[in-house]
């Protein structure tokens, strides 16, 4: 028997490629999508707005999509909670009317649904709601199977959720404050950790981001970093934890933190907080660049 090692290897590689292609072909997106998933807008009181959602159906099924809204808020552990329309604080669910509220999306196509948002005159501050798009396959007519046997089918509904965050113009109050803070000085085995107790006392949500600088006793910069984005709904209070992996020589330091947040029709606001601390023992190993580790 004559052996052809090269031919064998080639056939093996071709086989692998074919399997790979097949796997890729089977893994083609067979999904549903909604765009935009999140809407953040400033609105005028007494006005009506239209928000279009594009629902794309990449599956091979005809889908019936039902559009509705639920409330969106947070609990005492800062976890997201949802509720029926009008049951949670600052609900904008009653303002939203979908047109059409129910539609059919053909396979491998997309459709658009409009959400008409009516803002009451008495609204003030931020309001929130969560659009829900529920997709259910449409059962075809009771056609007998080719073999004449009865068949059993199963269908699975898919539910998408978006988010709508509205801030009323000239009726929103912004007031983000740093309630307190704590610095854990770096040691040989632990990084510096900055904990900021941040509260949004305003009537509208705030996206908070910031910077911090580590200044030595003479005010010179010893390190700096960023405070990652955090979203605070009205009344929400949370701890922002910012680790920093650099090392500091023994001495007295001050960390100067600035937090900024955008405001509708105003300049962004920036607040500042200072925390002095002492480093008594040097960090033996530098654990990273002079940048914050999120």
Partner 1 sequence: MINSRPITCRRFARRSIRAGCALALAISLLAPVPLGEAASSAVFFVRSTLQRITPEKDGSEGAHPPSRKIVPRIKLLLSNTHELAFGEAILAATLLDPSVASAEKKGERSLTIKGLSAGETILIISGPNTRSTYVIEVLRPARPRRAQEKGAGRALPVESFSGFYSLYFSPGFDGAPSLARHTFEFKQKLAQARTLRAGGELFNFMGGGERALAQPLWTSFGAGRLRFGLDSPESSFDLLDSELAVSRLSFNQYTVRGPHFVSQTASRWRGLEIFAGRARPQLSLFNRGEGTLAGALIPLAVGPSWRIRVGAFFVSPAQQRETESGIIWHADVRYAPDDKTTAEAEADYAKGHLSWRARLDLRRGPVTLYGELLRLDRDSPLVFLGAQPGGRKLHSFGLQWRALPHFIVSASYHSATNSPPSVARRFELNSRTVTATASYAPARGTRLSFSINQQELEQPAARDIPFLLSLRTRTATLRYGQRIAAHWTNDLEARFILSREEETAEQMTRGLTFREQLRYSWRRGSLTGFVNYRGNTPSLTSLVLRNPALLPPDTRAAFAADPLRFLLLNGDALPQLLAGVELPMTRSTEAGLRLQAAFSRLSMTGEVHYGTGEVAARAQRNMIVSFSANLKLDAANSIQVSGSRIHSFDGSGDRTALTVSFTHRFGAEGHSGFQFSRLLGLTARASVRGRVFLDTNANGEDDPEEPGLAGMKVQLDANHTLMTDSSGRFNFSALEPGEHAVALVHDELGVQFRASNTTLRQLVLEPRETVNLSFGLTNVGFAQGRIFNDLLLAGEKEAGDAPGVEGVRVFLRGTLKGSAALTEPLTQAVNASGLFEFRNLSPGSYILEVDPASIPADFHLRGQTAWPLNINPLQGSFLDLPLIAQRAISGIVFVDNDGDGKFDANKDQAVVAARVIGGSVEARTDSHGSYILRNLPAGKLTVRAFLPNEVASEPVHLELGPNPVFKRAVNLSIGK
Residues that bind partner 1 (CB under 8 A): 46-48, 50, 66, 68, 84-86, 94-95, 97, 99, 101, 116, 118-123, 136, 155, 157, 175-185, 199, 201, 211, 213, 215, 218-221, 224, 254, 256, 258, 260, 267-278
DSSP state of 10: H
Which letter, b or e, does each residue of 199-215 get, where b requires 16 or more Cβ atoms within 10 Å of its Cβ? bbbbbbbbebbbebbbb
> What are the φ and ψ backbone dihedral angles of 4, each rounded to 5 degrees?
-125, 85
Beta strands in the chain (DSSP E): 32-35, 38-43, 48-57, 63-74, 80-83, 96-99, 102-105, 109-118, 126-137, 158-161, 163-168, 176-184, 192-200, 206-216, 221-232, 237-244, 251-263, 266-279
For residue 277, the minimal CB distance to partner 1 (Å) is: 3
For residue 251, the minimal CB distance to partner 1 (Å) is: 13
For residue 280, the minimal CB distance to partner 1 (Å) is: 11
Of 55 and 70, the one with the shorter C-beta distance to partner 1 is: 70
> CA 169, CA 87: separation in Å to the nearest integer?
24
Q: Please, what is the end-to-end C-alpha distance for the chain in angstroms?
A: 64
Of 74 and 174, the one with the shorter C-beta distance to partner 1 is: 174
Of 199 and 231, the one with the shorter C-beta distance to partner 1 is: 199
Of 162 and 186, the one with the shorter C-beta distance to partner 1 is: 186
For residue 265, the minimal CB distance to partner 1 (Å) is: 15
For residue 203, the minimal CB distance to partner 1 (Å) is: 15
For residue 197, the minimal CB distance to partner 1 (Å) is: 9
> CA 267, CA 232: separation in Å to the nearest integer?
18
Of 206 and 233, the one with the shorter C-beta distance to partner 1 is: 206
Of 7 and 141, the one with the shorter C-beta distance to partner 1 is: 141
């Amino acid at each position: 028997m004559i052996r052809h090692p090269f031919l064998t290897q080639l056939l093996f590689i071709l086989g692998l490629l074919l399997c790979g292609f097949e796997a890729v072909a089977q893994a083609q997106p067979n999904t549903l999508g909604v765009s935009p998933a999140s809407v953040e807008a400033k609105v005028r009181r007494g006005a009506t707005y239209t928000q279009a959602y594009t629902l794309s159906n990449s599956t091979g099924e005809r889908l019936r999509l039902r559009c509705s809204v639920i409330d969106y808020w947070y609990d005492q552990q800062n976890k997201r909670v949802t509720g029926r329309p009008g049951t949670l604080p600052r609900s904008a669910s009653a303002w939203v009317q979908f047109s059409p509220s129910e539609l059919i999306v053909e396979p491998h196509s997309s459709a658009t649904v409009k959400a008409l948002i009516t803002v009451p005159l008495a609204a003030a501050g931020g309001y929130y709601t969560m659009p829900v798009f529920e997709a259910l396959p449409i059962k075809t007519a009771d056609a007998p199977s080719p073999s004449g046997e009865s068949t059993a089918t199963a269908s699975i509904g898919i539910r998408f959720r978006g988010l709508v965050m509205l801030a009323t113009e000239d009726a929103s109050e912004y007031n983000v404050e740093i309630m307190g803070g704590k610095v854990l000085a770096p040691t040989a085995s632990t990084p510096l950790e900055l904990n900021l107790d941040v509260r949004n006392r305003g009537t509208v949500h705030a996206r908070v981001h910031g910077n911090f600088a580590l200044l030595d006793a003479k005010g010179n910069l010893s390190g700096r970093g960023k405070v990652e984005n955090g979203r605070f709904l009205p009344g929400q209070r949370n701890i922002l934890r910012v680790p920093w992996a650099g090392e500091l020589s023994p001495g007295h330091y001050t960390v100067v933190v600035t937090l900024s947040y955008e405001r509708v029709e105003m300049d962004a606001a920036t607040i500042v907080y200072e925390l002095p601390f002492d480093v008594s023992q040097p960090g033996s190993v530098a654990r990273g660049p002079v940048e914050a580790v999120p």
